[in-house]
């Protein structure tokens, strides 16, 4: 079931919300939690009911093991639990990939069948591994089966995140005040849902319709010229932003309808000035998980190994090349390799992860050099700041080509076009403009209609780039009200100038959002809903 489907919007959600309000309003908190859990299982099973038992077995097994680890911490039991969770993930997500590569390498001529991937297996696997790890460390403060089931299955975040942490969710489920219907939660939640749906239906889906044919052509071996290749890469980069951030807005909004705040997951990542900052703004809950449960333990193990060898930690600004490689480069590359593999079974995802790992290592090296030389870490002057944002964005676009491409060959083919190796074809309408006509003549560029992207498509791309670089995000627009859990919105330069850039529950905003909602719903219901991009993970 999709958030953007009529079945969800006019069927599932009103029924679940009404049942929740009736139970919560009569002070039956446990029944309200059970109602939400049951509804979440129906939501999950709508796609394929056969995978509901798999989800429940995973939940029960991890809950029981977590309880055991709380009573008797055991490194062996924890290892077995993590291995079992990973084995489940590996079987469904990577078996086909492993067998196909073994077949290709050894020439075995196997007939490998595709294994259907259960929805959200990557997300609920990570959440439960974190739960087991924290139970081992004594960081789990509540062990209630109903709340644990709701923590894993809560339908607003179940399919594509945000990846929640047990502590932040269990405390909310255990607080009776969160189960009381409140007008502010309902109004802000509905607003976020409409804005997220707008991102998905109005922006992301049309961008995907433009990017997909170009990527498909590249997959078939077509040599896309410069502008078509860049159009495909930029369209997809914007598509995944509006698609995933739109889903997150909808998830946070749905959570608020039920009195629950989900953690933030996006903070204008394309405004980042370096890749370190990008990962603190993009898929923030994944970054949090990778940092806490993969990167930090690797660093701790390396640090202990150095201490055992009599090598103390370098002082700030005094890091040698060897120290940098072992304390920064190695943990970063390994963590991002795991991130790439988590995103998908394919060599293109491995390259995506390692490429971002390389970006991060370079960024950390540049920052270490600045500290060593006594330079300012960040330059807030407009021109250097804009240059840093643009450079970071271009690095992200290149990596996104691997993320979207069906295989490495497709990605390299498209990147060759972006590098101009397949020539440059200037659209006829653009070549007729005075400046571009001179450039076309001076450089002897080919003029033609273009295969995939017209002037209007480029105008749309430029307009949407302006939106993500200049406008406040949804959390900033709603900054005076409860949205994501513990959210502290960064300042946006437009908000002091234009008061309309800050939402308030007034009749004017209500009328505007009502019209937007009507338009978006009519557009949503007039066509078949499309899946969110992160559903495949």
20-46 pLDDT, tens digit per residue, is 989 987 778 889 999 999 999 999 998
Q: Give the three-state DSSP class for 282.
A: strand
Percent of the chain with pLDDT over 70: 95
Q: Is the dihedral of CA 488, 494, 496, 499 positive or negative?
A: negative
Q: Give the three-state DSSP class for 266.
A: strand
Which pLDDT value is given to residue 102?
84
Whether residue 90 is contained in a domain is answered as yes
Over the stretch 340-372, which tens digit does the pLDDT of each residue have? 998 888 899 999 999 999 999 999 999 888 888
Q: What pTM, to 2 d.p., does this model score?
A: 0.91
Q: Tell me what the mean pLDDT of segment 241-269 comes to.
A: 94
CA 511-21-502 angle, to 5 degrees, is 30
Which pLDDT value is given to residue 173?
87
SS (H, E, C) 433-479: CHHHHHHHHHHCCEEECCCCCCHHHHHHHHHHHHHHHHCCCHHHHCC
Banded pLDDT at 199 (limits 50, 70, 90): very high
Per DSSP, 260 falls in state -
Nearest to 177 by CA among 24, 389, 339: 24
- Asked if residue 476 has pLDDT above 80, the reply is yes
Residue reference for tokens 């990846």: 163
Whether residue 189 is contained in a domain is answered as no
d(CA 355, CA 336): 8
Whether residue 345 is contained in a domain is answered as no
Q: Are 291 and 126 in contact (CB under 8 A)?
A: no
d(CA 352, CA 342): 11
Beta bridge partners of 107: none
- Asked if residue 130 has pLDDT above 80, the reply is yes
Full DSSP string of 30-61: HHHHHHHHHHHHHHHHTT-GGGHHHHHHHHHH
- Asked if residue 515 has pLDDT above 70, the reply is yes
Name the residue range of residue 132's domain: 6-181
Of 2-6, 10-14, 213-217, 231-235, the poorest mean pLDDT is in 2-6
Whether residue 69 is contained in a domain is answered as yes
Whether residue 43 is contained in a domain is answered as yes
Of 106-120, 133-147, 201-215, the poorest mean pLDDT is in 106-120
Of 191-195, 204-208, 459-463, 496-500, the poorest mean pLDDT is in 496-500
Whether residue 148 is contained in a domain is answered as yes
Q: Longest C-alpha distance within the chain, in Å?
A: 77
Which pLDDT value is given to residue 451?
72
d(CA 222, CA 214): 9
Around Cβ 388, how many Cβ atoms within 10 Å? 16
Q: How far is CA 140 from CA 68, 80, 132, 295, 503, in A?
A: 12, 19, 9, 21, 37
Which pLDDT value is given to residue 432?
67
Q: Are 127 and 133 in contact (CB under 8 A)?
A: no
Per DSSP, 262 falls in state P
Banded pLDDT at 526 (limits 50, 70, 90): confident
Beta bridge partners of 263: none
Q: Are 500 and 213 in contact (CB under 8 A)?
A: no
Beta bridge partners of 327: none
Banded pLDDT at 262 (limits 50, 70, 90): very high
Q: Tell me what the mean pLDDT of segment 213-219 comes to.
A: 95
d(CA 491, CA 502): 11
Banded pLDDT at 11 (limits 50, 70, 90): very high
In this structure, are strands 425-427 and 446-448 parallel, antiparallel, or unpaired?
Answer: parallel
Q: Give the three-state DSSP class for 36.
A: helix
Who's near 441: CB < 8 A, 6+ residues apart? none
Q: Give the three-state DSSP class for 326.
A: helix
d(CA 329, CA 24): 51
Mean pLDDT, the chain, whole residue set: 88
Which pLDDT value is given to residue 444?
62
CA 190-194-195 angle, to 5 degrees, is 115
d(CA 305, CA 330): 14
Q: Are 262 and 482 in contact (CB under 8 A)?
A: no
Of 74-78, 463-467, 491-495, the poorest mean pLDDT is in 491-495
Please state the length of the chain.
537
Q: Give the three-state DSSP class for 246.
A: helix
Residue reference for tokens 């002070």: 27
Over the stretch 405-464, which tens digit does the pLDDT of each residue have? 999 999 999 999 999 898 887 776 666 666 666 667 666 667 776 678 888 899 999 999
Over the stretch 307-325, which tens digit does the pLDDT of each residue have? 888 877 777 667 777 788 8
> Roughly how many angstroms between the first and final C-alpha of the chain, as a whole number?
16
Centroid of chain to Cα 434: 42
Hey, which residues are catalytic here? 343
Q: Which helix (H) or strand (E) holds 127?
A: helix 121-136
Which pLDDT value is given to residue 491?
78
Q: Tell me what the mean pLDDT of segment 486-491 comes to.
A: 81
Orientation of helix 166-173 relative to helix 145-153, angle to 10°: 120
Which pLDDT value is given to residue 429?
65
Q: Are 182 and 482 in contact (CB under 8 A)?
A: no
Q: Which helix (H) or strand (E) holds 427?
A: strand 425-427
Full DSSP string of 174-223: T-GGGGS--HHHHHHHHHHHHHHHHIIIIIIHHHHHHHHHHHHHHHTT--
d(CA 480, CA 488): 10
Q: Which helix (H) or strand (E) holds 425?
A: strand 425-427
Centroid of chain to Cα 8: 22
Which pLDDT value is given to residue 433?
67
d(CA 152, CA 59): 8
Q: Tell me what the mean pLDDT of segment 205-224 comes to.
A: 93
Q: Are 67 and 132 in contact (CB under 8 A)?
A: no
Whether residue 263 is contained in a domain is answered as no
Which pLDDT value is given to residue 298?
93
Give the chain's domain count. Answer: 1
Which pLDDT value is given to residue 504?
82
d(CA 39, CA 46): 10
Q: How far is CA 429 from CA 332, 433, 450, 453, in A?
A: 46, 7, 10, 12
Per DSSP, 426 falls in state E
């Amino acid at each position: 079931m999709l958030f953007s489907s009529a079945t969800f919007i006019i069927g599932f959600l009103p029924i679940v919300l009404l049942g929740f309000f009736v139970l919560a309003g009569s002070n039956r908190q446990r029944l309200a939690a059970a109602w939400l859990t049951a509804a979440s299982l129906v939501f999950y099973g709508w796609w394929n009911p056969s995978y509901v038992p798999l989800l429940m077995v995973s939940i029960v097994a991890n809950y029981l093991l977590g309880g055991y680890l709380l009573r008797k911490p055991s490194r062996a039991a924890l290892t077995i639990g993590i291995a079992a969770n990973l084995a489940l993930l590996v079987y469904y997500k990577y078996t086909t990939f492993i067998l196909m590569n073994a077949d290709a390498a050894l020439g075995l001529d196997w007939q490998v069948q595709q294994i259907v991937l259960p929805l959200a297996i990557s997300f609920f696997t990570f959440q439960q591994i974190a739960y087991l790890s924290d139970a081992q460390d004594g960081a789990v403060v509540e062990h209630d089966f109903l709340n644990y089931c709701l923590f894993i299955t809560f339908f607003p975040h179940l399919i594509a995140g945000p990846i929640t942490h047990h502590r932040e969710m269990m405390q909310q489920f255990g607080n009776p005040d969160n189960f009381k219907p409140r007008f502010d939660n309902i109004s802000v939640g509905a607003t976020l849902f409409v804005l997220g749906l707008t991102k998905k239906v109005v922006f992301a889906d049309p961008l995907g319709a433009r990017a997909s044919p170009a990527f498909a052509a590249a997959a078939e071996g077509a040599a896309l010229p410069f502008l078509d290749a860049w159009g495909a890469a930029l369209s997809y980069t914007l598509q995944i932003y509006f698609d995933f951030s739109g889903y997150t807005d909808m998830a946070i909004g749905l959570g608020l309808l039920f009195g629950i705040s989900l953690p933030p997951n996006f903070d204008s990542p394309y405004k980042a000035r370096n890749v370190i900052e990008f990962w603190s703004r993009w898929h923030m809950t994944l970054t949090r998980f990778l940092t806490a449960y993969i990167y930090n333990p690797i660093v701790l193990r390396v640090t202990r190994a150095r201490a055992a060898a009599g090598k103390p930690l370098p002082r700030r600004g005094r890091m040698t090349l060897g120290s940098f490689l072992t304390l920064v480069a190695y943990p970063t590359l390994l963590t991002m390799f795991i991130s790439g593999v988590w995103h998908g079974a394919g060599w293109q995802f491995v390259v995506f992860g390692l490429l971002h790992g390389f970006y991060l290592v370079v960024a950390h090296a540049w920052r270490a050099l600045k500290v060593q030389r006594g330079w300012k870490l960040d330059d807030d002057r407009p021109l250097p700041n804009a240059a840093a944002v643009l450079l970071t964005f271009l690095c992200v676009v290149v990596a996104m080509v691997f993320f979207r491409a069906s295989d490495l060959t497709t990605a390299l083919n498209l990147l060759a076009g972006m590098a101009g190796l397949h020539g440059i074809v200037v659209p006829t309408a653009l070549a007729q403009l005075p400046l571009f006509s001179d450039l076309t003549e001076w450089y002897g560029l080919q003029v033609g209609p273009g295969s995939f992207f017209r002037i209007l498509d480029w105008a749309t791309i430029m307009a949407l780039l302006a939106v993500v670089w200049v406008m406040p995000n949804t959390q900033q627009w709603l900054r005076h009200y409860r949205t994501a859990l513990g959210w502290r919105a960064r300042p946006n330069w437009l908000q002091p100038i234009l008061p309309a850039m800050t939402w308030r529950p007034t009749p004017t905003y209500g009328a505007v959002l009502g019209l937007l909602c009507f338009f978006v719903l009519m557009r949503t219901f007039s066509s078949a809903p499309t899946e969110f991009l992160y559903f495949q993970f």
